[in-house]
Amino acid sequence: MQGKVCVFGSFNVDIVAKVERFPRGGESLMALGSSLGPGGKGANQATAASKAGAQVHFVAKVGKDQFSHLAADHLTRSAIHSYTLYQSESEPTGNAIIYVSQENGENMIAIYSGANTTITYSEIQKIIPELSSSDVLLVQLENNFDATHSLIKIAHELGKQVILNPAPYSAEIIPSIPFVDVITPNETEASLLSGIDISDFDTAKEAALRIARLGAKKVLITMGSRGALLLDNRQFSHIRAFPAVTVDTTGAGDAFNGALAASLAAGNSLVQAATWASAFASLAVELEGASNMPEFEQANARLRTL
């Protein structure tokens, strides 16, 4: 069964420099390579959900600049089924400067949101028909919060499953949490949401319980190579991580969230969906680039190694 996912989020142009190690303050390093391509948590998660088997409608906003042509070209050629791409008169297309360390595959990212933060209520209203025909709404925090909150509430009223990936973290999203079905922070975001420093599964459980008290129905904390911790109806489950040869972790969270949304839209349980997402994300870290996602059958094969 193929489900439909509406992904509301950012489109950024990623400017990536691969370095031997991260530079220190005031230091210049020669890059080992560089690239320019499509990115943004919204676009990456939409690509992931598509590759993970869902029919996806992606909603984003770009500027009226040369990067907007890159956005339209990428979305037209991608696996994404359909999209709504608004244009801002006042702000440029969002962009991200990314360092990827060859030392360990880790990344450092600085983002300018640009047009992503200029989405209006009337633009939100125009996508209600697409939302109405979707099974799941997936959102992140790279857009203006009033637009994100409005869409979350509309989806909740329509009875749609809502997944909130609270990244990059901001306390402004807390009023939206009671209208969300699944919240998917990583350890850093879960620590900020809960006020608990996460160092192991016990502290992650404490954090999950505190996030639940904010109104979250289901809390899914991603913990990198340790897998993920799920709190559902006051019951904890450990979602295992799949072994991977790490090349680039930049898109791991986006891969996980997109695959999670696709699996939930297909009618799977949250434990099944999170396990599938873990397998999918383990393949994503073996690829270079945040927008480079694995294929559906590759993830199925990885899942069978469980």
Nearest to 47 by CA among 16, 13, 74, 73: 74
Q: How many CB atoms lie within 10 A of CB 274?
A: 29
Rounded-to-integer distance, Cα 38 and Cα 261, Å: 21
Query: Is 226 annotated for ligand binding?
Result: yes
Query: Is 85 annotated for ligand binding?
Result: no
Query: Is 181 annotated for ligand binding?
Result: no
Nearest to 94 by CA among 166, 7, 11, 170: 11
Query: Is 61 annotated for ligand binding?
Result: no
DSSP line for 140-208: -SSS-HHHHHHHHHHHHHTT-EEEE---S--GGGGGGGGG-SEE--BHHHHHHHHS----SHHHHHHHH
Please pick, among 135, 181, 232, 254, the residue that the annotation labels catalytic: 254
Query: Is 186 annotated for ligand binding?
Result: yes
Query: Is 227 annotated for ligand binding?
Result: yes
Query: Is 60 annotated for ligand binding?
Result: no
Query: Is 43 annotated for ligand binding?
Result: yes
Q: What is the largest CA-CA distance in the chain?
A: 53
Residue 254 annotated among the catalytic residues of the structure: yes
Query: Is 293 annotated for ligand binding?
Result: no
Q: Which residues are catalytic?
A: 254
Q: Binding site: what residues are annotated? A: 12-14, 40-44, 142, 186, 222-227, 248, 250, 253-254, 284, 287, 289
Q: Binding site for ATP: what residues are annotated? A: 186, 222-227, 253-254
Q: Binding site for K(+): what residues are annotated? A: 248, 250, 284, 287, 289
Q: Binding site for substrate: what residues are annotated? A: 12-14, 40-44, 142, 254
